[in-house]
């Protein structure tokens, strides 16, 4: 197994990791967006939060929202950007917000702080998408795209401007779905015939560029059910940043495709692995960062970091 041994503060949901000045920073779902630090990727300590108080717009625009979910953090020319999900469970009245800071170290030491810039995109019962689970990736020209989505119409992308907001004139476009996009859709139901799939359980998308391909990772099925979670991680790839993303059998992820990469049957202890991101360290090693539920500890969600090996153009685990 290529899993790293993790200690310290290991409770996590929807984790993502970045590095600044030799130190690792982990962001995740929770009150105010918790931030953890590590010097070695293995032992983690709580360091603070992005927000001590939720920005006022979040409860005004998304009534009932409390904790923020599934943050994405990226470094751009003027510093760090953190995108975060504002929603309530099971509804698509949602938004993705954006906050910025020049330095993670300075922000946590109170030498500077995070500046919230407000909402980037909204969704509502009138839209065929859910504006949560943000992930940002750029093409070879440095143009950013925001990948997002959970259930409803699946994963979508939209172009971002240089300031990190939705580019004028850009409209969300579907990229991945459990329900074949060509199937007849009536509301949230289809004639696809599988009740477990009719809800379109795909979320937690992440795109990582490697070896000439953009790899789209996604979580299929259901999280947040402890050891009964059926989450699992799938992948497809494309040479075009906007797809189509095909799995190993050349099935488009928009048509229900996705090659299995990690599931709960791979482990005796861990159930429902999912909502992954990918982190590449300075030495070139790539790691998948995700959560899974501990069958020996009442279904506690735990931080998982697993080295990725690239075999014949696809990510694999040893």
From the list 116, 133, 144, 203, the catalytic residue is 203
Identify the band that residue 186 occupies on the pLDDT scale cut at 50, 70 and 90. very low
How many of the other CB atoms lie within 10 Å of CB of 5? 8
Over 50: is that where the pLDDT of 190 sits?
A: no
Distance from C-alpha of 95 to C-alpha of 274, rounded to nearest angstrom: 22
Nearest residue to 147 via CA among 75, 214, 78: 214
CA distances in angstroms from 155 to 89, 117, 152, 266, listed in the order given: 17, 24, 9, 25
Identify the band that residue 110 occupies on the pLDDT scale cut at 50, 70 and 90. confident
Active site residue 161: no
Distance from C-alpha of 245 to C-alpha of 250, rounded to nearest angstrom: 9
Instruction: State the first-to-last Cα distance of the chain, in angstroms, to the nearest integer.
Output: 6
What is the per-residue burial (b if ≥16 Cβ within 10 Å, else e) of 256-295? bbbbebbbbeebeebbbbbbbbbbeeeeeebbbbbbbbbb
Q: What is the pLDDT of residue 265?
A: 85
Identify the band that residue 181 occupies on the pLDDT scale cut at 50, 70 and 90. low
Residue 234: Cβ-neighbour burial (10 angstroms; 0-12, 13-18, 19+): buried
Q: Which domains does the chain have, with CATH numbers?
A: 7-316 (2.115.10.20)
Over 50: is that where the pLDDT of 188 sits?
A: no
Q: What is the pLDDT of residue 89?
A: 92
Q: Which of 107-116, 152-161, 197-206 has the highest mean pLDDT?
A: 152-161
Identify the band that residue 194 occupies on the pLDDT scale cut at 50, 70 and 90. low
Q: What is the pLDDT of residue 183?
A: 58
Distance from C-alpha of 154 to C-alpha of 138, rounded to nearest angstrom: 21
Q: What is the pLDDT of residue 24?
A: 98
Q: What is the DSSP string of 77-120?
A: TTEEEEEEEE--TT---EEEEEEEES-HHHHHTTSS--EEEEEE
CB contact set of 79 (below 8 Å; sequence gap of 6+): 100, 101, 102, 103
Q: What is the pLDDT of residue 244?
A: 97
Over 60: is that where the pLDDT of 191 sits?
A: no
Q: What is the pLDDT of residue 195?
A: 55
Residue found by looking up tokens 């600044």 in the block: 20
Q: What is the pLDDT of residue 197?
A: 63
Q: How many CA atoms lie within 13 A of 277 on its CB side?
A: 24
Over 70: is that where the pLDDT of 192 sits?
A: no
Active site residue 14: yes
pLDDT in tens, 222-240: 999 999 999 999 999 999 9
Q: What is the pLDDT of residue 196?
A: 56
Distance from C-alpha of 271 to C-alpha of 229, rounded to nearest angstrom: 7
CA distances in angstroms from 73 to 20, 49, 262, listed in the order given: 12, 13, 23
Distance from C-alpha of 166 to C-alpha of 119, rounded to nearest angstrom: 10
Over 70: is that where the pLDDT of 97 sits?
A: yes
More confident residue, 311 or 252: 252
Mean pLDDT (the chain) is 93
Identify the band that residue 153 occupies on the pLDDT scale cut at 50, 70 and 90. very high
Which tokens hold the place of 154? 């699946």
Q: Dihedrals φ, ψ of 123, to 5°? A: -135, 165
Over 80: is that where the pLDDT of 42 sits?
A: yes
Q: How many CA atoms lie within 13 A of 143 on its CB side?
A: 11
Among 39-48, 115-124, 190-199, 260-269, where is mean pLDDT lowest?
Answer: 190-199
Which tokens hold the place of 163? 């300031």
Over 70: is that where the pLDDT of 182 sits?
A: no
How many of the other CB atoms lie within 10 Å of CB of 231? 27
Identify the band that residue 198 occupies on the pLDDT scale cut at 50, 70 and 90. confident
Identify the band that residue 22 occupies on the pLDDT scale cut at 50, 70 and 90. very high
**Triad 277, 308, 247: Cα angle to 5°:** 75
Q: Identify the sign of the CA torsion 92, 256, 144, 223.
A: positive
Supply the DSSP symbol for 257.
-
């Amino acid at each position: 197994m290529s899993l790293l041994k993790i200690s310290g503060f290991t409770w996590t949901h929807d984790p993502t990791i970045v590095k600044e000045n030799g130190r690792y920073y982990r962001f995740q779902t929770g009150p105010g967006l918790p931030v953890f630090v590590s010097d070695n990727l293995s032992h983690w300590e709580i360091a603070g939060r992005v927000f001590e108080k939720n920005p006022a717009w979040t409860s005004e625009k998304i009534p009932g929202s409390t904790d923020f979910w599934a943050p994405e953090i990226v470094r751009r020319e003027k510093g760090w950007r953190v995108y975060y999900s504002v929603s309530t469970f099971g509804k698509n009245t949602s938004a993705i917000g954006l906050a910025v800071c020049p330095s993670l170290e300075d922000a946590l030491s109170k030498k500077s702080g995070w500046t919230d810039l407000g909402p980037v995109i909204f969704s509502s019962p009138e839209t065929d998408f859910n504006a949560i689970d943000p992930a940002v990736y750029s093409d070879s020209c440095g143009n950013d795209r925001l990948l997002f989505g959970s259930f409803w119409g699946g994963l979508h992308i939209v172009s971002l401007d240089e300031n990190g907001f939705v580019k004028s004139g850009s409209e969300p476009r579907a990229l991945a779905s459990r329900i074949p996009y060509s199937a007849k859709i009536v509301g949230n139901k289809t004639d696809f015939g599988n009740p477990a799939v009719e809800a379109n359980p795909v979320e937690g998308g992440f795109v990582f560029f490697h070896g000439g391909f953009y790899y789209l990772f996604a979580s299929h099925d259901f999280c947040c059910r402890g050891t009964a979670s059926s989450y699992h991680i799938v992948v497809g790839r494309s040479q075009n940043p906007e797809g189509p993303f095909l799995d190993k059998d050349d099935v488009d992820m928009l048509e229900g495709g996705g090659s299995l990469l990690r599931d709960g049957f791979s482990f005796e202890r861990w159930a429902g692995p999912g909502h992954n991101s990918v982190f590449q360290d300075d030495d070139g090693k790539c790691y998948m960062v995700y959560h899974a539920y501990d069958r020996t500890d009442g279904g506690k969600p735990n931080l998982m970091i697993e080295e990725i090996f690239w075999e014949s153009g696809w990510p694999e685990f040893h």
